[in-house]
Structure 1
Amino acid sequence: MSYGPVVRSSTTPGQALMHHRTPFAAAGLMAVSVLLTGCFATGATGTDDPSGEGRIKVAMMLPPRSALSPFSDDAFKLSRWSTAETLVNLDEKGDARPALATRWTRTSDTTWEFVVRQGVTFHDGTTLTATVAANTLTRAMKASPKPRILDGVRLEVRAEADKVVLTTDVPDPLVPQRLSSPQLSVLAESAYAPDGKVNPVGAGSGPFKLVHLNGTTGATLDRFDGYWGDKAKAAGIDVSFVPDGAARAAAIRGGEAHVVEAVPVSQAALLDQQTVTEVPMPRTNTLYLNTKTGPFADPALRAAVREAIDAEAIVKGVYEGRADVAEGLLGPALPWAAEGRKALGERTKAADPKSTTITLATFTDRAELPEVASVLQQQLQDKGFTVNQVVREYAHIEQDMLAGKFDAFILSRATVLDSGDPVAYLRSDFACDGSFNIAKLCDPAVDAAVVKAAGVEAGDQRRAAILEAEAAVLRTDAAIPMLHERVIQGDATSLVDSAKDPRERLLITATTRLR
């Protein structure tokens, strides 16, 4: 099998848009309906509760990849179903707030103490203690692979009375934020097997108890009446995993689901707009320019690209208006970024491209990106560049991307990772030694700004330092943010109070119910 590049130098933006936006024919809708019926098997969806409180049917995009192990990205499913909880939650600004820990204290540069909430019962009937919480964190540190939030972190954990004591090898002002990651959800000791495997069924502490996982088909959760907080209003949750975006959208139209996550842009217009909610995501569609080799080692040619891009045309043409034009790397999912962002001042002047040939690359896994590439290709050619495209699946382009084999790369990139803080993203993508530095940027001003932001305590001062680092990156034109994506969620008109969470940690909560 060949994984060579697909060169699309002759593709026009209009051709790409026309192909993608063709509505379903009647036969296509019938095929989706058949597919959907198979997705929502009787055992997966259940029936309404006799009390009238009802069970909520959810269609999710991706099936579990690790049998719902909390140490993997499957943890976000446990969080979105309100079945597993963490010691700390995050508020809208990303500041730490109590959850299974009621308070915490930093007792030295490297030591933190977290007081564990009393009166919490797990779904298996056991009680939350500091020892149980410490067990979760210790097992997370020993997991292979470790949860992403613990990459590069050395952590010692012990229980002292009602406290969990954490010691890091270097000062880390984001320890509370790290503990908010769903990958550090605290489970009952019964969840952990001697061989390192974790089974969260019946082992969480949230308002809904996970009672069954049907492989990659679905999951069943019931209300947990022993919950320490406000009891769930719904009788339970019936989850189906539906990878096909058209089938998920059809689930709302046909009434087979009450909540559908990740409705594709192309499907959103086909739905009753009362059932569609758009939530800004902390994800930016950015054009990265190779600053080390090739034409874009010249800052003036990078500036020419910046001036050539019409982001509004991309938002309207490719995303059908369901995205936000970027004003910086950090978007409206972080309201403080827009509130605190300052003008960049004088920028590098653009040079005449003089037909300079560049290679523009992206990947197919996110449906809109090849279309973005086609529109961007035309915009750059109108400015005077000669542009060739390379488009592959992400798995087959990542290595070349990281090796700097392209002049420009379009990437849909999460700007806040599991800690809810953008510093990790800024460091990995733009620091000289960044592990994801596809722009090959090495700028002393950028490195100094990122280091400064990393050392500031969480809060307003840290946020101000983050915006200084963002500005330092933008002045280089190594990365040109184009738009901020939105997550499109489908909610039946019979559903009340599903969560609309930019971080995609919450979906069904204790207050979610049917009318």
Structure 2
Amino acid sequence: MRLPENPSTPRRALLATLAAGTAATLLTGCFSASGTSSEGSRDGRLRLAMMQPPRSGLSPLSDDAFKLSRWSTAETLVRLDRDGNAVPALATAWKRTGRTWTFTLRRGVTFHDGTALTARSVVTSLTAATGASPKPRILDGVDLSVRATGPHTVTVTTGTADPLVPQRLSSPQLSVLAAKAYRGRAVDPVGAGTGPFELVKVSGTASATLNRYDAYWGGKAKASGIDVKFVPDGTARAAALRSGEADIVEAVPVSQAALLDPKLITEVPMPRTNTLYLNTGSGPFKDAGLRAAAREAIDAEQIVKGVYEGRADVAEGLLGPALPWAAKLRGKIARPAAGAAEGARITIGTFTDRAELPEVAQVLQQQLRAAGFQVTLDVREYANIEADALAGRFDAFILSRATVLDSGDPAAYLYSDFASSGSFNIAQLSDPAVDRALTTASGIATGEARRRDIMRAEAAVLATDAAVPLLHERVIQGDAAHVSGAAHDPRERELVTLDTFVR
């Protein structure tokens, strides 16, 4: 194939074009076992091409929980609305008394094995989560206990007053499953959820099959089932949409989006920020002036236009357009003056799991060198680099970070990443003013006042230059022309719902 002689066409997109034909060939017929064809589903079933295979056997106590949520097979006591507020799901109401919350369960709910949802089944599921090792992220640092106080009421008590308990219980990692799912340390979600689709088969890291559950408490789903293929290669996922081998494709790479029919893709701002963390604990960036010099040397717009081909948003702060209230409440930030780099040697780490990050690192290397820094890159798979990043072995680290974690509230992310005792403090930040602001934001009740304090905490972090926010990512989802009702969820908790179907 001869490459177009168009200097404005990104080289990465051209290479992706060459790879697309091979990927399409590899995927041809990959959904044929389900009785479907490249012309679309003929039996009302939806074909999904998903990015990451299961890492923990689809245990809800792991990140695999988000797959169960996106397939509408496992459900939680509450869910989050668009603004991050907790609304009823398996629980219809709740009230707070000090450290204790009482939840009233929905009547008439059955698990996929036919057993009824009761307070005892909720206790079993939540107790398994609190006793897991490691715990689900949403329970990091939270002392939580649960007990049944009636056939359809449960109380959840925390060690200290926690205004976020309902939001925490919306995490897919706290899904409620039938008792049969819990056997020893393993949790098996097959046939154990309460959602409109029943998980009936899992074939390792290759595929999963779900059928409609006609006894679902919320009504009958429009699709008859879901056939899932795990396709880690982004070019292959895009090819599956282009060739008609998949009805819905998640996480279309930026490099592939331009090669698809614009009518088939949807971009949604994600609560995910691409950030350069600067090591404030040791090395050159212990100096506030050098951190300021690095911040001023960075041109995020160049990264958005070049690496992301315009399919991202330049960051004004740590919290982006997926949280529309953030921009309204953001004030001016007082930052220190920049010093001179004078040949300061720095090592920047990042990982290959997200295709764009190594390219981001190369652009930052050029920009920082132009400002006088001597820059070395260390790029590995995430599993092989996380421990070094958390131990402060890099001068800087580029991370694509979810900013609302599992609660729909950014206070937990800010505390985890920037508090002195934060469990994910890559910047090694220890700043009393930041700690005070984070503690205040974490303790106040949900609502407008909490949001104002969250933005004050963001300002306190940014004033240290411990983190330089670069851009806010967008999720790019592909939906075939014959698909209706697919969810476009910035939190990536929903994908196939009651109302999703193939025409």
Short-chain TM bin: over 0.9
1:93-144 C-alpha deviation (Å, 9 max, x unpaired) = 211111100000112x211100000111222112111122122112222233
Alignment of 1:483 with 2:487, yes or no, is: no
* Inter-partner Cα distance in structure 2 for 1:373 and 1:350: 22
Q: 2:228 aligns with which of 239, 246, 252?
A: 239
Alignment of 1:260 with 2:261, yes or no, is: no
1:38-89 C-alpha deviation (Å, 9 max, x unpaired) = 6435148699999x77111111111222221111111111100111110000
Shift in CA distance, 46/227, structure 1 to aligned 2, threshold 3 Å: farther
Map 1:45-194; keep pairs closer than 5 Å.
54-107=44-97, 109-161=98-150, 162-193=152-183
Query: Residue type matched to 1:221 in 2?
Result: L
1:207–1:227 CA contact under 8 A, matched in 2: yes
Map 1:486-505; keep pairs closer than 5 Å.
486-505=474-493
Query: Residue type matched to 1:22 in 2?
Result: L
Q: Which residue of 2 aligns with 1:3?
A: none
Local SS of the residue matching 2:259:
coil
* Inter-partner Cα distance in structure 2 for 1:433 and 1:201: 38
Map 1:209-224; keep pairs closer than 5 Å.
209-224=198-213
* Inter-partner Cα distance in structure 2 for 1:494 and 1:181: 31
**What's the CA shift for 1:465?**
0.9
Shift in CA distance, 47/263, structure 1 to aligned 2, threshold 3 Å: closer
Q: Which residue of 1 aligns with 2:408?
A: 420
Shift in CA distance, 23/211, structure 1 to aligned 2, threshold 3 Å: same
Map 1:19-34; keep pairs closer than 5 Å.
20-24=12-16, 28-34=19-25
* Inter-partner Cα distance in structure 2 for 1:467 and 1:423: 9
Map 1:393-412; keep pairs closer than 5 Å.
393-412=381-400
Local SS of the residue matching 1:483:
strand
1:81–1:208 CA contact under 8 A, matched in 2: yes
Alignment of 1:294 with 2:286, yes or no, is: no
Q: Which residue of 2 aligns with 1:14?
A: none
2:13–2:258 CA contact under 8 A, matched in 1: no
Q: 1:36 aligns with which of 27, 31, 39?
A: 27
4+ residue runs over 6 A deviation: 46-50
Normalising by structure 2, what TM-score? 0.94
1:290–1:297 CA contact under 8 A, matched in 2: yes
1:339-384 C-alpha deviation (Å, 9 max, x unpaired) = 221222x421222323333222222222111111111111122222
2:335–2:465 CA contact under 8 A, matched in 1: no
Local SS of the residue matching 2:355:
coil
Q: Which residue of 2 aligns with 1:363?
A: 351
Q: 2:263 aligns with which of 270, 274, 279?
A: 274
2:485–2:500 CA contact under 8 A, matched in 1: yes
Query: Residue type matched to 1:63 in 2?
Result: P
* Inter-partner Cα distance in structure 1 for 2:198 and 2:135: 25
* Inter-partner Cα distance in structure 1 for 2:91 and 2:17: 53
Query: Residue type matched to 1:183 in 2?
Result: Q
* Inter-partner Cα distance in structure 2 for 1:459 and 1:226: 36
Identity %: 66
Map 1:194-205; keep pairs closer than 5 Å.
195-205=184-194
Local SS of the residue matching 1:425:
helix
Q: Which residue of 2 aligns with 1:308?
A: 297
2:16–2:256 CA contact under 8 A, matched in 1: no
Shift in CA distance, 396/144, structure 1 to aligned 2, threshold 3 Å: closer
Shift in CA distance, 31/445, structure 1 to aligned 2, threshold 3 Å: same
* Inter-partner Cα distance in structure 1 for 2:134 and 2:169: 17
**What's the CA shift for 1:503?**
0.8
1:46–1:238 CA contact under 8 A, matched in 2: no
Query: Residue type matched to 1:439 in 2?
Result: A
**What's the CA shift for 1:391?**
2.1
Structure 1's unaligned 5+ residue stretches are 1-16
1:175-221 C-alpha deviation (Å, 9 max, x unpaired) = 1111101111111222222x232221222111112222222221121
Shift in CA distance, 38/242, structure 1 to aligned 2, threshold 3 Å: farther
1:246–1:267 CA contact under 8 A, matched in 2: yes
Normalising by structure 1, what TM-score? 0.91
Query: Residue type matched to 1:176 in 2?
Result: P
Query: Residue type matched to 1:280 in 2?
Result: P
Q: Which residue of 1 aligns with 2:434?
A: 446
Moved more, 497-506 or 224-233: 224-233
Query: Residue type matched to 2:359 in 1?
Result: E
* Inter-partner Cα distance in structure 1 for 2:448 and 2:426: 30
Local SS of the residue matching 1:476:
coil
* Inter-partner Cα distance in structure 2 for 1:435 and 1:145: 13
Local SS of the residue matching 1:22:
helix
**What's the CA shift for 1:165?**
0.9
Local SS of the residue matching 2:109:
coil
1:45–1:240 CA contact under 8 A, matched in 2: no
Moved more, 423-432 or 442-451: 423-432
Q: 2:326 aligns with which of 329, 337, 341?
A: 337
**What's the CA shift for 1:406?**
2.2
2:13–2:256 CA contact under 8 A, matched in 1: no
**What's the CA shift for 1:25?**
5.8
Local SS of the residue matching 2:27:
helix
Local SS of the residue matching 2:420:
coil
Query: Residue type matched to 1:292 in 2?
Result: G
Query: Residue type matched to 2:179 in 1?
Result: E
**What's the CA shift for 1:330?**
0.7
Alignment of 1:351 with 2:351, yes or no, is: no
Local SS of the residue matching 2:28:
helix
* Aligned pairs, number: 495
1:282–1:502 CA contact under 8 A, matched in 2: yes
* Inter-partner Cα distance in structure 1 for 2:390 and 2:285: 16
Local SS of the residue matching 1:23:
helix
